[in-house]
Amino acid sequence: TIGMIAVDRNGNVATGTSTNGASHKIPGRVGDSPVIGAGSYADSLVGGAAATGDGDTMMRFLPSYQAVENMRLGADPTTACQKAIDRIQKRIPVFFGAIICANRTGSYGAACSKAPGFTQFHYSVFKPDLSQPLEEIVDCL
Amino acid sequence: QPPLPLVVNTWPFHSATQAAWKALSAGGSPLDAVERGCAQCEVDQCDGTVGYGGSPDESGETTLDAMIMDGNTMAVGAVANLRRIKNAIGVARAVMDHTKHTFLVGESASLFAESMGFVCEDLTTNRSLSIYSKWLDLRCQPNFRKNVTPDPTKSCGPYKPVRGLPEEKTSSLQKEVDLHSHD
């Protein structure tokens, strides 16, 4: 799955996702990716967020919407992502999931939930003064 | 003040990041950048988790889900369980641009895509066939069914529901992580 946030130089925000979902799913099953507020969410007044992982779990908590609302309430992107993950962990202590966040001024961050075989999350960034994408890594909570 | 513009995406799918950046640099909108970036991943079949030829379902078919959102207008285009169309993010953008709806699913979404000029083709590849064959050889493990007979942890279907469901435990949402099977 890919989840993406793009912000132009005027602070206009768009987000998107694309996926082929979980392997061996029951035909007809849809995960969080195309669900607004779950797979991603954007508000140019604030910023954007996009999630990835076990969609059957994550879609129940609308983490992308939650992260954008966290930023609206003043959280920086990293904290906003962490709080969205933390909210899920309070109900599902161990789950496979990660989220990226960016605000309309160009700050960004990420967070993930530690699970067996998943302790760090890698994501990709492009910003001015880079000649190629930058791979960022975050330790999972 | 952090620099703008900015592209961020989940996982180290650098060609997608680059494609989105290129679109922004060429004067495209953030929507164009997201569409271009995700489309690149669909072509690249990023990690086997995006695009055609990955994550076959119980029937061996690959279906695609995608969504795009404009943070200015709050407009959204989304598609799910899209069959036979490779460019899922493009169809999501078409839902946004050419309908007053938000979310189209299944066979009807594919028919919409075809009517909008998207190419209809098989999403199966040798790789997805191989994944499916191995799953059948492993007696359909891992398996998302529960409370059915025969026992889905040991047997393939067809399945029927069992009577008298056991009490649900909160831990039932906890699953093993497969880094190449995610949304």
Question: For residue B2, is pLDDT > 80?
Answer: no
Q: Of B34, B140, B177, which has the smallest distance from its Cβ to A118's Cβ?
A: B177
Q: In this predicted model, what pLDDT tens digit does every residue of B115-154 receive, in sequence order?
A: 999 999 999 999 999 999 999 999 999 999 999 999 999 9
Q: In this predicted model, what pLDDT tens digit does every residue of B82-112 receive, in sequence order?
A: 999 999 999 999 999 999 999 999 999 999 9
Given pLDDT bands bounded at 50, 70 and 90, which one contains residue B50? Answer: very high
Average pLDDT over residues B57-67: 98
Cα separation of B173 and A92, whole Å?
7
Tokens of B52: 């055609």
In this prediction, residue B182 carries a pLDDT of 86
Cα separation of A11 and A9, whole Å?
6
Q: In this predicted complex, what is the ipTM? A: 0.98
Instruction: Provide the shortest C-alpha distance from residue B76 to chain A (in Å).
Output: 8
Given pLDDT bands bounded at 50, 70 and 90, which one contains residue B164? Answer: confident
The gap from C-alpha B145 to its chain's centroid, in whole angstroms, comes to: 20
Taking the Cβ of residue A13 and every Cβ of chain B, the question of whether any pair is shorter than 8 Å is answered with yes
CA A18, A24, A30, A33 torsion-angle sign: negative
Backbone angles phi, psi at B148, to 5 degrees: -135, 165
Question: For residue B170, is pLDDT > 70?
Answer: no
List B residues 51-90 in contact with A (Cβ-Cβ < 8 A): 51-52, 54-59, 61-72, 74, 76, 78-81, 88-89
Of the candidates B132, B131, B44, which has an alpha carbon nearest to the alpha carbon of residue B86?
Answer: B44
Q: With CB atoms and an 8 Å threshold, state whether A2 touches B38.
A: yes
Q: With CB atoms and an 8 Å threshold, state whether A14 touches B142.
A: no
